[in-house]
Structure 1
Amino acid sequence: MNSFLSFGLVLLFINNQAAGQTVELSMYKDSFDDQYYGCTEAMEAVLPGLLEKERNENADYKSTWDSAAKTWPTKKSSLKTLPVGFQDEHGIALLAYTNMTSPVYKQLNRGIREYGADPRKFKYHSLHFYLTLALNLLRDSCNGNPFYTYRGASKVEFEPPVGTVKDVRLSQFSSSSTDIREAEQFGNASFFRIATCYGADIQSFSSFPSQKEVLIPVDEVFYVSSYTKEGHKFILTSTNQRCSFYNCDYLRGRKRDSCTYNAASMIFPSCRTSILLIGSVFFLMTLAS
């Protein structure tokens, strides 16, 4: 399947335009998955001007960011600790993203999914950067202790990959919840039970903390360890690996031909097996709930 067709399928399923749409999960290589390895400082040097430019060109972004910036000092004061290196912009980005009354999170994720078609149309480089770094600071490794979360999808009926390769990614920043009842409110056309190594607990940073959100990064790789066709129910288990096709794309404008796995994903080589076993037991216990 060529990359253009692959991109078309991603766009088709995520836009959720038709009830009952059936789509196969995959690695979604056209999604913007930049992790900024080796260029974080260079990006931080251009970010103030870039953020200002993107906000001025996007009224939704400007109003949502400005609102989050006003809220952040109060939110920050309620937090006991912050990771070393966590900046105000990271907290503001999380507040802006989780503001469900704003279209920004939908626009951002649509841009991430459509990035491969025309990177020049992407209008959220600053928000993508700050969210990516925020998640990395809040949850930089699995260490054998994944989060067990749930994610509901409306309208789209997902199916597992065809063939022997069962690894998938979620194609965007993906919200999930540690509370199954919260996740069920977002849809039941498909339902995911997820063991995530790199998803970060952002409840304390969220505009809607009652959702008990764990935000999963674009580049985390999962294994489809179980699929039930009735109800399109999945168990996705982290492989304890992250991979990306893009790196420092805003500065260099290049995409790699293959997905490059970062070194951090290899710190715990036995983690995949243990997570698969523990996660499967946990989720099988919840199937009856």
Structure 2
Amino acid sequence: MEPNSIDDKYDGCRDEAFKRVDGYYLPHEKNTTTNFRRAWDIAEKHASIPKDGLQKVHSVSMYSYTNNKPQPPSESIYLDFNEAVRQGSYGYGTSFQYHSLHFYLTDAMQILKQSQTTCRTTYRRTNVYFDRNVLNKEIRFGFFASSSLNKSLHMFGNTSCFEINTCFGANLTYYSAYINESEVLIPSYEVFRITAVQTNTWCDVVYTLNSTGISKSNMNCRWVYNGAESNLRSSFYTFIRASDTDYIMLFTMLIIIVFH
């Protein structure tokens, strides 16, 4: 299947990406994307003091991502951002509106994983029905997938649930807007194998996902290598097709709010 997701992990271009995001993309996207500016400004007031080798921009990005207060004017960027990530490969480096948030979240997870070295079991609940004929298939989420160390967050759903062994996911609890959710954020590029599909246990259907220990990043460093900043400034839009992959993308998983 040809994925449309933005799965950049910035392997080999992290420092250059940080420089461009900090110097251009963050101020540019705050000026041009209203909901991002609002979410970021609120997060700057409430984000936790950074530790673990992180900077303030990392802490602010995690708070803005996890803050999902729905009352107008909306403080939530979760749905718009993940929808853009899920479908945004053709506009990556050009019309995609969240380069800064995507980079800071990815960078924060990778820095946190330097001290969070073990794989961990997490849980994800939804009210969405998925195909059950997927045993032994390899999948990626294709977006930033929120999961929890707590199996009992029933408000997120009981229809299709996931027991996930993740080796790339990072525990964001200290930085989250909702620390009681014990959130572990899983990057779009982690590859899992579905090792079990069970019915009528702690959820209507439970899919067990085990990390393969492999990451798959079709868009790795794409906008950095392609000079996307100059493309944006000249309003020249290019459409980049992601390479073919055999991995099944669970694109529909974010159609309904699951976490946040």
- Asked whether the two chains share a fold, i.e. TM above 0.5, the reply is yes
Instruction: Return the offset for 1:198.
Output: 1.1
Q: Aligned pair 1:92/2:60, yes or no?
A: yes
| Paired residue type of 2:19 | A
- 1:168 is matched with which residue: 119, 139, 144? 139
Question: In 2 relative to 1, CA 61–256 (structure 1 residues): closer, same or farther, beyond 3 Å?
Answer: closer
- 2:21 is matched with which residue: 38, 42, 47? 47
Instruction: Return the offset for 1:71.
Output: 1.7
Instruction: Return the offset for 1:116.
Output: 3.2
Cα distance in 1 for partners of 2:77, 2:133 equals 30
Number of paired residues?
Answer: 223
| Preserved CA contact (<8 Å) 1:113 1:172 | yes
Question: In 2 relative to 1, CA 97–148 (structure 1 residues): closer, same or farther, beyond 3 Å?
Answer: same
| Paired residue type of 1:223 | R
SS across alignment from 2:142: coil
Q: Aligned pair 1:257/2:257, yes or no?
A: no
Question: Could you give the per-residue CA deviations for residues 32-85 of structure 1, whole angstroms, max 9, x where no partner exists?
Answer: 10011111121122113210110111111111101111223xx21xx7xx333x
- 1:240 is matched with which residue: 199, 203, 213? 213
Q: Which residue in 2 is equivalent to 1:199?
A: 169
Instruction: Return the offset for 1:166.
Output: 1.2
Identity of aligned residues (%): 32
Query: RMSD of aligned C-alpha atoms?
Result: 2.3
Q: Which residue in 2 is equivalent to 1:228?
A: 198
Q: Aligned pair 1:157/2:145, yes or no?
A: no
Cα distance in 1 for partners of 2:91, 2:18 equals 24
Give the structure-2-normalised TM-score. 0.78
- 1:132 is matched with which residue: 106, 113, 116? 106
| Preserved CA contact (<8 Å) 1:64 1:104 | yes
Cα distance in 2 for partners of 1:150, 1:117 equals 31
Q: Which structure ranks higher in relative contact order (CA pairs < 8 Å, sequence separation ≥ 6)?
A: 2
Cα distance in 2 for partners of 1:244, 1:140 equals 19
| Paired residue type of 2:98 | Y
Alignment of 1:17-166 (within 5 A): 29-48=3-22, 49-72=24-47, 75-76=48-49, 82-84=51-53, 86-101=54-69, 102-119=75-92, 120-140=94-114, 145-154=118-127, 156-160=128-132, 162=134, 166=137
User: Which structure dedicates a bigger proportion of its chain to helix?
Assistant: 1
SS across alignment from 1:246: coil
| Preserved CA contact (<8 Å) 1:249 1:255 | no
Instruction: Return the offset for 1:243.
Output: 1.2
Cα distance in 2 for partners of 1:91, 1:139 equals 15
| Unpaired runs of at least 5, structure 1 | 4-28, 260-289
Give the structure-1-normalised TM-score. 0.71
Cα distance in 1 for partners of 2:175, 2:129 equals 31
| Preserved CA contact (<8 Å) 1:166 1:223 | yes
| Paired residue type of 1:168 | I
| Preserved CA contact (<8 Å) 1:30 1:115 | yes
| Unpaired runs of at least 5, structure 2 | 70-74, 227-239, 246-260
Q: Which residue in 2 is equivalent to 1:10?
A: none
